Amino acid sequence: MSRTSIYGLTLDKLTDWLVEQGEKKFRAAQIWDWIYLKRIDDFKKMTNLSKKTIQLLENYFVMGTLEKQIEQKAKDGTTKFLFKLSDGNLIETVLMLHEYGLSVCVTSQVGCNIGCSFCASGLLKKNRDLTSGEMVEQLVKIQQSLDARAKDERVSHIVVMGIGEPFDNFDPVMDFLKIINDGKGLAIGARHITVSTSGIVPKIYEFADIDWQINLAISLHAPNNELRSRIMKINRAYPIEKLMEAVDYYLQKTNRRITFEYIMLKDLNDHKQEALQLAKLLEKKRHLAYVNLIPYNPVEEHSEYQRSEKDAVVTFYETLKKCGINAVVRKEFGTDIDAACGQLRSKQIKKERLIKR
Ligand code: SAH
Ligand code: SF4
């Protein structure tokens, strides 16, 4: 049997497993203390466990499977990590510095099958889902990298906005969220965690039914079906009316604010008319809706799209504001290091393909 990553188990699952093996329940909390608080990298360093327990852990688990390939720092402090998985696949994770703290953008799949027409991740079809352990380890590895700088820096915020569609890998992503949120582990506050989806409607209902405070963001990008179906083919399966019904259910169930992401694409979705349509769409839920206007990160293969002009962004923003819709223009991070969704990874894959030829 191949050994799995210790980072993939929730505290409950680890506890159950230990009890099955004839170990005491409290060992689980001790092990978590070593891996998430002391952040050691070898089972042998767990000095309060017996040799027998350490051997048991070593027989069943590995302490992670990710191998750091590249750590690239931009002028604004954004750091991009490229990791190699045990099967050779590459994923990327980004660390950003905000005024409110350090935030990590986590990848949930190797590639993405949703295939939005403006996205670098969608260019490379999904290879496989990530396991919960591989998602947790992105964070652990980055925190270990911060530990090595010895500046007492701690990751405080998480966005699941890297490569992949988290709701297309629902159960492992939910386990990942449980693990990083758990107070006995990394203890990232639920209000500091945001999951972004392209709009897989049935999973929005499921997510709404979970009793926690984790934030939800919806990649909307267009205020009508004609336009949205053109740039996001998922809209053909789950059109805006169905998406908004699910959003209403989420709002009524959680009473939490929801973010709508909107990439500003020049002459495509950035006219005043679309701003007015968007305001109308969100009118009834404007007390709980928040629009994030995102500057488009040019992708080489999608030359049909350009970034909106500044004037268009300002007009769009002001139109929303005048209609009483909360909006913000998202700050950009690390543009000098390909920090946009999937870009470093796709460049690296192209480079490796060239080398293999
Ligand atoms: N699959 C999920 C989460 C990952 S994508 C989703 O689509 O929501 C995270 C965000 O980055 C999404 O809002 C996505 O639309 C956006 N994005 C993708 N490509 C982009 C690009 N080239 N420039 C700017 N934002 C992009
Ligand atoms: Fe996948 Fe999100 Fe990119 Fe769409 S925007 S292709 S859902 S990662």
Query: Distance, CA 123 to ligand 1 centroid (Å)?
Result: 13
240 touches 234 (CB < 8 A): no
Length of the chain measured in residues: 357
Residue 261 near ligand 2, beta carbon < 6 Å: no
User: In this model, does residue 342 exceed pLDDT 60?
Assistant: no
Mutate to test the pocket of ligand 2, among 107, 109, 116 (most ligand atoms within 8 A of CB): 116
pLDDT reported for residue 339: 52
284 touches 322 (CB < 8 A): no
Confidence band of 346 (pLDDT split at 50, 70, 90):
low
Among 8-22, 124-138, 144-158, 329-343, the minimum mean pLDDT is found in 329-343
Residue 162 near ligand 2, beta carbon < 6 Å: no
Query: Distance, CA 291 to ligand 1 centroid (Å)?
Result: 14
- Positive or negative: CA dihedral 71, 73, 77, 82: negative
Catalytic residue among 23, 67, 92, 153: 92
Q: Mean pLDDT, to the nearest integer, of 48-63? A: 97
Tell me the percentage of the chain whose pLDDT exceeds 90: 85
93 touches 105 (CB < 8 A): yes
Query: Distance, CA 115 to ligand 1 centroid (Å)?
Result: 11
Mutate to test the pocket of ligand 2, among 119, 160, 218, 220 (most ligand atoms within 8 A of CB): 119
Q: How far apart are CA 136 and CA 132, in angstroms?
A: 6
Structure tokens at 242: 């169905």
Q: How far apart are CA 275 and CA 298, in angstroms?
A: 22
Measured CA to CA in angstroms, residue 355 lies from 94, 123, 127, 130, 142 at distances of 26, 20, 21, 26, 28
Per-state percent for the chain, helix, strand, coil, to nearest 5: 45, 20, 35
Angle at 60 (CA atoms; ends 57, 64), nearest 5 degrees? 80
Measured CA to CA in angstroms, residue 78 lies from 72, 74, 75 at distances of 8, 5, 7
Measured CA to CA in angstroms, residue 356 lies from 90, 127, 351 at distances of 16, 19, 9
pLDDT reported for residue 262: 97
39 touches 140 (CB < 8 A): yes
**Residue labelled with tokens 């928040």:** 290
Average pLDDT over all residues of the chain: 92
Q: Mean pLDDT, to the nearest integer, of 95-113? A: 94
Q: How far apart are CA 240 and CA 73, in angstroms?
A: 38
Query: Distance, CA 307 to ligand 1 centroid (Å)?
Result: 14
Q: What residues line ligand 1, using a CB cutoff of 6 Å?
A: 118-120, 161, 165, 196-198, 219, 261, 263, 294, 296-297, 299, 340-341
